[in-house]
Amino acid sequence: ASFWSKVELGPPDPIYGLTEAYKACKNPKKVNLAIGTYHDDSGKAYVLKCVRKAEKLLDSMRLNKAYPTALGNERYRRLCEELALGRDSQLMKNGVLASMQCISRTGALRVALDFIKSFYAGKKVVYLPNPTWGNHKHLIRETGLAYEQYRYYDNKTVDMDYRGMLDDITQKIPNDAVVLLHGCAHNPSGHDPSRTQWEELSDLIKQKNLLVIFDLAYHGYASGHFEVDAYAVRRFVEEGNKCVIIQSFAKNMGLYGERAGCLIITAESVEEKRKILSQCEEIIKSMYQYPPIHGARIVEKILGDTGLKAEWKLEFKLMSDRLMSIRRTLKTKLQKEGSIRNWDHIVKQCGMFCFTGLSKPQVKRLIDDHSIFLSTTGRISIGVDNFRAGFWTPRSTTLFM
Ligand code: PMP
């Protein structure tokens, strides 16, 4: 018998599965609302102009393809720290940020979790918001750590459950445990705490001495401004919280497949930073040895050049404004079609996704009866403008009444 005869088929990937079902569907009016990437008006996955320019510059430099170091591109790492924490960050000035280039955010999180598993002196349980990005649980489980959830969103009010979050952090999460927060543009709910709420959370979390993992997945997508969107992470760090920041340029530079990410761990001294880096280096070497070089070079070119950086910010702001206008179109069209449901949450949310509040049976009917493919959680992507064409008319409006 084969060595692998006892291997069973793994669970289907929920998003990939939808894309496959969409591809197989014969209905000419089919729509895929599950895609988590930004597409332009022509419906094509968008490559930013500043990225094309940076690649041209890189090409003219005739760089070689030699191995990098395990911790990756040094200048890139400094630029990542600056984008997340600001030019004036005291920890950056003190040289106590242990940062390393990683394989996008997923890779950064995996390295961080392995490091926590081996070295964290507190309680090794990670508290995740409910709901959260599906892969968080998977990564934690595969690392061999435990996770629990805290309240974040209320299906009934289709809004954030800030009270529930606060109560759970106060009562349910033990001191010294690990809490994961989405730095901005929470996926999938699209709801973030306000500034005052972040301040309250920062105080509470510091009191409880929790280790914070900040997932900066959609940096820029909440407000269109990188400084504004970094408010929470900067506040937490400035107030002395112990933070692990995972960052990538998948979404905000459209570098999805380049896997340009960064892991930043706040240390208390230069000596401690050196030790953290040396142990993370061991983890990285045992996993993949070196990070990929091309994506980080693109980011380094853009963030390291005042002109290109300004172009990026401008281009990104247009993308983020366009997402907001897609939200408005969707809401207006639903109302025009006669839906009397309250759709305010569509424009109240931010980021690349809209958490519609549709129930599982409604989602099933949209897929089965109308060939409109979306996640069972009711999350739809607004990164692809499917709403200008009024695709649901008159197929599915009755569902939304
Ligand atoms: N965290 C969140 C909240 C995400 O939504 C995603 C991607 N959808 C990731 C992490 C993974 O990002 P990356 O492609 O940079 O690994």
The residue whose CA has the least distance to atom 12 of ligand 1 is: 105
The C-alpha atoms of residue 227 and residue 84 are separated, in whole angstroms, by 8
The C-alpha atoms of residue 301 and residue 58 are separated, in whole angstroms, by 8
Active site residues: 133, 215, 251
261 lines ligand 1 (CB under 6 A): yes
The residue whose CA has the least distance to atom 1 of ligand 1 is: 217
The C-alpha atoms of residue 121 and residue 36 are separated, in whole angstroms, by 36
- Do you find a cis peptide bond into 361, omega within 30 degrees of 0? no
Strand ranges inside 209-324, DSSP E: 211-216, 242-248, 260-266
User: For residue 397, what pLDDT is reported?
Assistant: 53
Taken as a whole, the chain contains a residue count of 401
36 lines ligand 1 (CB under 6 A): yes
**Residue pLDDT tens, the chain, 401 long:** 999 999 999 988 877 888 889 999 999 888 899 988 999 888 889 999 999 999 999 999 999 999 999 999 999 999 999 999 999 999 999 999 999 999 999 999 999 999 999 999 999 999 999 999 999 999 999 999 999 999 999 999 999 999 999 999 999 999 999 999 999 999 999 999 999 999 999 999 999 999 999 999 999 999 999 999 999 999 999 999 999 999 999 999 999 999 999 999 999 999 999 999 999 999 999 999 999 999 999 999 999 999 999 999 999 999 999 999 999 999 998 888 888 889 999 999 999 999 999 999 999 999 999 899 999 999 999 998 887 665 555 455 555 54
The C-alpha atoms of residue 288 and residue 292 are separated, in whole angstroms, by 10
Cα diameter, the chain: 65
User: For residue 41, what pLDDT is reported?
Assistant: 84
Which 8-state DSSP code applies to residue 352? S
Mutate which of 187, 213, 249 for ligand 1? The one with the most ligand atoms within 8 Å of its CB, which is: 187
User: For residue 19, what pLDDT is reported?
Assistant: 87
Distance between Cα 258 and ligand 1 center (Å): 13
Per-residue pLDDT of 63-81, as tens digits, reads 999 999 999 999 999 999 9
Structure ipTM: 0.95
Mutate which of 133, 152, 216, 246 for ligand 1? The one with the most ligand atoms within 8 Å of its CB, which is: 133
248 lines ligand 1 (CB under 6 A): yes
> Helical H runs in 259-305?
270-287, 294-303
215 lines ligand 1 (CB under 6 A): yes
* The residue to which tokens 């280790």 are assigned: 211
Give the H/E segment covering residue 326.
Answer: helix 306-336
Distance between Cα 105 and ligand 1 center (Å): 6
Distance between Cα 218 and ligand 1 center (Å): 8
User: For residue 394, what pLDDT is reported?
Assistant: 47
As given in the structure block, the two tokens for residue 119 are 């070295």
Task: Please answer whether residues 369 and 397 qualify as being in contact, where contact means their C-beta atoms are separated by less than 8 angstroms.
Answer: no
User: For residue 148, what pLDDT is reported?
Assistant: 98
Distance between Cα 226 and ligand 1 center (Å): 17
250 lines ligand 1 (CB under 6 A): yes
375 lines ligand 1 (CB under 6 A): no
Half-sphere exposure of 68 (CA within 13 A, CB side): 24
For ligand 1, what atom is nearest to the CA of residue 133?
3
104 lines ligand 1 (CB under 6 A): yes
The residue whose CA has the least distance to atom 8 of ligand 1 is: 36
CA distances in angstroms from 120 to 61, 124, 261, 276, listed in the order given: 42, 7, 22, 11
Task: Please answer whether residues 224 and 63 qualify as being in contact, where contact means their C-beta atoms are separated by less than 8 angstroms.
Answer: no
Mutate which of 113, 135, 181, 214 for ligand 1? The one with the most ligand atoms within 8 Å of its CB, which is: 135
Question: 270-280: buried (b, 16+ CB within 10 Å) or exposed (e) per residue?
Answer: eeebeebbeeb
217 lines ligand 1 (CB under 6 A): yes
Long-range CB contacts (within 8 A, 24+) of 312-317: 312/48, 312/50, 312/253, 313/226, 315/48, 315/49, 315/50, 316/48, 316/220, 316/224, 316/252, 316/253, 317/224, 317/225
187 lines ligand 1 (CB under 6 A): yes
For ligand 1, what atom is nearest to the CA of residue 36?
8
The C-alpha atoms of residue 136 and residue 294 are separated, in whole angstroms, by 26
For ligand 1, what atom is nearest to the CA of residue 103?
16
188 lines ligand 1 (CB under 6 A): no
Distance between Cα 140 and ligand 1 center (Å): 14
Burial environment of residue 28 by CB neighbours within 10 A (0 to 12, 13 to 18, 19 or more): exposed
